[in-house]
Amino acid sequence: SYACPNMQVDQNLLVESDRIISSYPLPQLAEFTPYKDADFHPVVKSTCATRRGSTTSFKTCKCVVVGEVAVGKTSLVNRFCHKTFQRDYKATIGVDFEVEKLAVLGVPFRLQIWDTAGQERFRSIGSAYYRGAHAVIAAFDLSDLATLDRAVQWTQDACQTAGGESVSATSGACPVKFLVGTKRDSIGDTKYRTAVAAASAVAARLGSEFWPTSALTGEGVVELFHRAAALAFQVAVLRDSGEGGAAACANSDGGGQKVASAIQLGPSPAGQPARKSSVNCCN
């Protein structure tokens, strides 16, 4: 396995240096996103300015990672959360759970990452954890476009379940959606261009933002999760302020439903470390 060196910790925010989001993260490929803002909304900046310096978490957002078995979902999460890459493949049983502490514009923020199993027999277990998601990452293998076709259904199922059954027209925003190509390192430029053309068309239809990544090299991984965290954070703050966070829903046929549950507000214990747990059929 490969591990990045340990990052320095910001003693004021109690987060690692690579978990600090001080400016608006932009898409990796600007032409393949429905989210066109180039900066944080003024209301978000103002809200963060009033809370800057706090050591307690302002918000917690939930991100679910879905997709076919063996496309690299767990490798993607492990690269971001643990800065490692494991070559030995072990299928996720049920759901794995991580919590990462970040800081957005100087304000502590927690990102829950739910890594769901891709096997059909665990699908009903994983889908139970889609509810209340604020971001959906649908992963597919850039070297296997059959997994791209199936990522459409994964996205639709996750977005539909995220909103629950009691969703009103004004209750909140759709989860932000990402279509993430994995294993960029495994294919050459010609095959990559073919995959990008196919994936960008699917992403446009779903109203998702397309990201190519490599968990092996780390390409695009930290940036992806920073982008997902920042977009979910912005939607939450705008919704709480009455500034129309629901407008973040992109027009698509991707099954996007409005998220019924509000993003958690209020303090968490300062300096609480990242956690990992596993939920499976044997629990």
Among 277, 229, 257, 280, smallest CA distance to 169 is for 257
Among 228, 254, 245, 115, smallest CA distance to 172 is for 245
> pLDDT > 90: what percent of the chain?
55
Cα 76 to Cα 115: distance, rounded to the nearest angstrom: 9
pLDDT at 14: 78
pLDDT at 185: 97
pLDDT at 235: 86
Cα 116 to Cα 249: distance, rounded to the nearest angstrom: 23
Domain extents for the chain? 2-275
CATH number for the domain running over 2-275: 3.40.50.300
Low-confidence ranges of the chain (pLDDT < 50): 1-7, 9, 165-172, 245-248, 250-275, 277-283
Question: Who contacts 225 (Cβ-Cβ below 8 Å, separation ≥6)?
Answer: 63, 80, 100, 111, 113
Under 8 Å between Cβ of 57 and 268? yes
Report the predicted TM-score, pTM, of the whole model to 2 decimal places.
0.81
